[in-house]
Amino acid sequence: MRVILNKAERLWKIPQPALGAMHFTEKRLEARNVELIDLESLSPQLPQRYLSSEIQAQNSDQQSTAGLLISLSEKILSHHHSLSNIELDPLKEIILTPGIRTTASWLAMGLLNPGDSAAYPDPGLQYFRSAISLADGVPKSYSLHESNDYLLNISSLKSAAHKRTKILFLNYPHNPTGVAVDYYFYRELLKALRFANMLTIADCAYIHPGNPDPSGPLQVKNARRMVVELHSFATSFGITGLGFAVGHKDAISILRTIQTSQSFSPSPSDLLAASALLDKADEIFSSNMEALRSNRELLSEGLKKLDWQVKGGRLVPFIWAKPPFRSTSVAFARRLFAKAGIRVAAGSDFGENGEGWIRMALWRDEAELQEALVRLSEHSKIWQRKFRP
């Protein structure tokens, strides 16, 4: 007898990418000999040239995984420019994690009871909402508007805070718009929330360790009593499935409890690679920023010539772009995929306030970006046909 399975109700609350896999359309592109240009994926390549000699030397030490974890945690606090001037306990206030998305889900499960709510940005990455829903919490979005340069309105957030709102998810430099904030923004935010009894969980994926002039919430005095920062080695170094959380010691303790129950243990090779790359963080940051600057200028100038509106930040590997005609972002992204063989992230995947925009990745060869601009120019008349949903 066949077992009939139904999804738990919480799974229906998890947002799904509107574009989907598009396997059938991809096969049609192959039949037309059109090579797909993926401008959706954001992960950089692992910089192998910095690894070989350092890892071989450290492998000879035959350190245990526990020793590598402690060593890497201490190196993060001393080498990461946004954390190096803050007195943090490497045993109680930092923990290695499997990445930002999983860590956010674990924190939501560890902090939210059914009926508790958490606030997340719109537009923003939808894993915030997924994390809240999986914890049986109540997702509450706060709007970021283009007219305010996608900055959080601190006064409106303060007035909307409720005693059952336990978490504020924050993300700057902002994905998908690229907007960054400074120390004074974080200072005013934490000042406004000092009596709210609400943990601020900051997605700091693009606060890179090699940035000599970083700005993160933990730089504010006593912020570690109110904040947990989530960082990723994937976005800085291309080491997937490895990151770290730092800040509020009780939140770190909760993460450690969940990690123990899940038997999470990063591989020694990833720990050694992260340690070696932290030693070269300044050089890697400069190299990455120069590559992104060149690609950003190329793609932005090409889109502006086609009358697109373009936004983006210096620290992020993508641009936020708006076509010069009316269409839903999903319809345009699908048409772009089917007609021109270019995959992008639809703005509606980031919430209601992302509608009308698309996100385009910059971690591509210059030739690929040039080819994408050529295809956009050749198909521009198709995009401008009247669209009917």
Q: What is the predicted pLDDT for the residue at 299?
A: 96
Q: What is the predicted pLDDT for the residue at 8?
A: 87
Distance CA 83, CA 227 (A): 13
Tell whether the model's pLDDT for residue 387 goes beyond 70.
Answer: no
Q: What is the predicted pLDDT for the residue at 384?
A: 61
Q: What is the predicted pLDDT for the residue at 389?
A: 42
Tell whether the model's pLDDT for residue 364 goes beyond 60.
Answer: yes
Q: Give the residue carrying structure tokens 């914890």.
A: 135
Distance CA 242, CA 260 (A): 16
The answer to whether 376 and 323 have CB atoms below 8 angstroms apart is no
55-74, pLDDT tens digit by residue?
545 554 446 777 888 899 99
- 239: confidence class by pLDDT, cuts 50, 70, 90: very high
Q: What is the predicted pLDDT for the residue at 349?
A: 94
Q: What is the predicted pLDDT for the residue at 64?
A: 72
Relative orientation angle of helices 268-279 and 281-305, to the nearest 10 degrees: 80
3-state secondary structure 302-343: HHHHCCCEEECCCCCCEEEEECCCCCCHHHHHHHHHHHHCEE
Distance CA 30, CA 45 (A): 25
89-147, pLDDT tens digit by residue?
999 999 999 999 999 999 999 999 999 999 999 999 999 999 999 999 999 999 999 99
φ, ψ dihedrals at 156, nearest 5°: -70, -35
**Amino acid (one-letter) located at 318:** F
What residue spans of the chain are helical by DSSP H? 23-31, 52-59, 65-79, 100-111, 127-134, 154-160, 183-192, 233-237, 249-262, 268-279, 281-305, 329-335, 366-378, 380-383
Query: Tokens for 385?
Result: 């046909």
Who's near 272: CB < 8 A, 6+ residues apart? Answer: 54, 55, 58, 59, 68
Tell whether the model's pLDDT for residue 178 goes beyond 70.
Answer: yes
Of the listed ranges 40-54, 66-80, 353-367, the least confidently predicted one is 40-54
Residue 354's closest CA among 148, 144, 180, 39? 144
Averaged pLDDT for residues 362-370: 93
182-228, pLDDT tens digit by residue?
999 999 999 999 888 899 999 999 999 999 999 999 999 999 999 99
- 162: confidence class by pLDDT, cuts 50, 70, 90: low
303-341, pLDDT tens digit by residue?
999 999 999 899 999 999 999 888 889 989 998 999 899
Who's near 282: CB < 8 A, 6+ residues apart? Answer: 210, 212
* pTM for this predicted structure: 0.92
Q: What is the predicted pLDDT for the residue at 53?
A: 56
Distance CA 202, CA 169 (A): 6
Relative orientation angle of helices 281-305 and 366-378, to the nearest 10 degrees: 20
Residue 50's closest CA among 62, 40, 39, 58? 58
Query: Tokens for 99?
Result: 């990445």
Distance CA 104, CA 109 (A): 9
Averaged pLDDT for residues 16-29: 83
φ, ψ dihedrals at 320, nearest 5°: -110, 115
The answer to whether 228 and 197 have CB atoms below 8 angstroms apart is no
Distance CA 67, CA 72 (A): 9
Query: Tokens for 90?
Result: 């490497």
Q: What is the predicted pLDDT for the residue at 63?
A: 60
**169 forms bridges with which residues in the sheet?**
201
Residue positions counted in the chain: 389
Distance CA 319, CA 296 (A): 7
Q: What is the CA radius of gyration of the chain?
A: 22
Beta strand 243-247 pairing with 94-97: antiparallel
Distance between first and last Cα of the chain? 43
Tell whether the model's pLDDT for residue 235 goes beyond 50.
Answer: yes
